[in-house]
């Protein structure tokens, strides 16, 4: 068993215990885990039954696993998981926070009002989930009342997202909103400091150019954020054009 899998199980047990005892989330013990080392001399690695090798892994396989996943309490309260959707050869992978009410109802990411605005934002720089983008979230199930996902919940979903990135190999990653940017970069810096510039994101064995901007839902609440968000999108478009000509 890998360290990531052990941590996911430990986090699930912690928050399940909280739910059953008091109903309130308590501080989670920060435990360190290591990968199990095989005692055999064989070079073959035995994978758990619910995981597939990198040679046969696919977006469809990951989506099937997500729809069956109960690795954290979000799997118990959701209506439908939203694995992600879009081009399987994307220029850009857009990663948001998590499903909302409409996404939970349909099992698709970014289909509510914020999703409709996201589609328009992407269209403004010649991008679309129908042709050259893949849309996903850091958690695949809706947190109750649209609260921020807990670290234990993003940890439980992390291997799904990493596998998606590794398979899709997008040219660029666009993080939509504070939660997505902070989770992916493992930082607590504000979205105001994280946006407006390119950095690098490492997922598995690949490193990709990464840019963050405000979540479309934030633009619906505060129109003053539309101009800086547009500047972020123009920066992404310029880098896409440079990448194409380079």
> In the prediction, which pLDDT does 198 show?
97
Residue reference for tokens 């912690």: 14
Residue 230 has pLDDT above 50, yes or no: yes
> Do the beta carbons of residue 72 and residue 143 sit within 8 Å?
no
- Spatial neighbors of 109 by CB under 8 A, at least 6 apart, are 82, 84, 85, 96, 99, 103, 115, 135, 136, 137
> Do the beta carbons of residue 112 and residue 118 sit within 8 Å?
no
- Spatial neighbors of 79 by CB under 8 A, at least 6 apart, are 104, 105, 107, 142
Could you tell me how far CA 34 lies from the centroid of its own chain? 24
Class of domain 3-25+52-245: alpha beta
Q: Strand order of the sheet with strand 172-176?
A: 85-86, 133-137, 92-96, 172-176, 206-213, 198-203
| pLDDT tens-place string over residues 163-185 | 999 999 999 999 999 999 999 99
Consecutive H or E run containing 44: none
Give the range among 6-10, 72-76, 144-148, 166-170 with minimum mean pLDDT: 6-10
pLDDT, mean of residues 56-64: 94
> In the prediction, which pLDDT does 33 show?
55
């Amino acid at each position: 068993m890998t360290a990531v899998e052990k941590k996911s199980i430990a986090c699930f047990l912690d928050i399940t215990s909280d739910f059953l005892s008091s109903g309130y989330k308590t501080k989670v013990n920060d435990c360190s885990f290591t990968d199990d080392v095989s005692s055999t001399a064989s070079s073959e690695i035995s994978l758990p039954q619910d995981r597939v090798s990198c040679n046969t892994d696919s977006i469809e396989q990951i989506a099937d696993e997500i729809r069956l996943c109960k690795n954290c309490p979000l799997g118990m309260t959701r209506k439908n998981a939203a694995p992600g959707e879009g081009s399987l050869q994307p220029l850009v992978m857009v990663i948001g926070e998590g499903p909302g009410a409409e996404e939970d109802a349909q099992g698709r990411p970014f289909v509510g009002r914020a999703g409709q605005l996201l589609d328009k934002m992407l269209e403004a720089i010649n991008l679309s989930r129908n042709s050259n983008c893949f849309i996903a979230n850091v958690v695949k199930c809706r947190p109750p009342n649209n609260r921020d996902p807990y670290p234990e919940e993003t940890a439980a979903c992390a291997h799904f997202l990493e596998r998606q990135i590794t398979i899709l190999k997008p040219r660029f990653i666009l993080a939509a909103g504070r939660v997505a940017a902070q989770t992916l970069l493992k930082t607590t810096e504000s979205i105001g400091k994280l946006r407006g510039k390119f950095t690098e994101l490492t997922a598995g064995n690949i490193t990709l150019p990464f840019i963050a901007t405000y979540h479309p839902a934030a633009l619906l609440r505060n129109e003053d954020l539309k101009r800086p968000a547009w500047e972020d999108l123009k920066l992404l478009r310029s880098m896409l054009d440079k990448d194409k000509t380079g």
